[in-house]
Amino acid sequence: MKLAIPYRWMEKIQILQTQIGFFNMIYLKDNFWKFALLICEISCNNSNNLKTFNLNHQLVQAKLVDGLIDGKATFYDSLGNFINITTYERGIRSGISINYYANRTVSDSVEIVAGKENGYWRYYDSNGNRTYCAYYYYGLLFGPELM
């Protein structure tokens, strides 16, 4: 990260950077102030927590807790193409699941509760236009499909 500090101040200011867990903190120190917090940013791309593994002939990148997927999991096909994002809670699908076409447009999306599809499952064509949707109640199709 570059800081825009006037040149005349550079003689008097010392820049200190520390990292604590996910936090990157940058401080300014001069003769008048002890420390002034300038920036505190959270790094969401901490790859130390993510594991990459094969699951049902798909490459998965996710956080594992006690051997179970926990949080957002990103799926890739055998050629490495991005195909799905699904949220898990202790190994059980829970949250939004989104499938993608090869051109990275959304193919379909559904909310999942306790491992079951719940709510409107929306389907799209490869241009992103909704083709139809169906309502699910805890994994069971409920009602007509809507165009």
Long-range interactions of 16-19: CB distance < 8 A, separation 24+: none
Q: Which two tokens stand for residue 140?
A: 């069971």
In-domain check, residue 4: no
- Measured between its terminal Cα atoms, the distance across the chain in Å is 49
Host domain of residue 24: 12-42
Residue pair 67/56 in contact by the 8 Å Cβ criterion: no
**Are 38 and 72 found together in one domain?**
no
**Are 76 and 137 found together in one domain?**
yes
**Are 99 and 33 found together in one domain?**
no
**Are 111 and 59 found together in one domain?**
yes
What are the pLDDT digits (tens) for 70-104? 999 999 998 889 999 999 999 999 999 999 999 99
**Are 70 and 110 found together in one domain?**
yes
For range 114-129, the mean pLDDT: 95
In-domain check, residue 16: yes
Arithmetic mean of pLDDT over the chain? 77
Give the per-residue pLDDT at 79.
87
**pTM higher than 0.85 for the full model?**
no
Quote the CA–CA distance of 145 and 63 in Å, as a whole number. 35
What secondary structure letter does DSSP report for 102?
A: T
Number of domains in the chain: 2
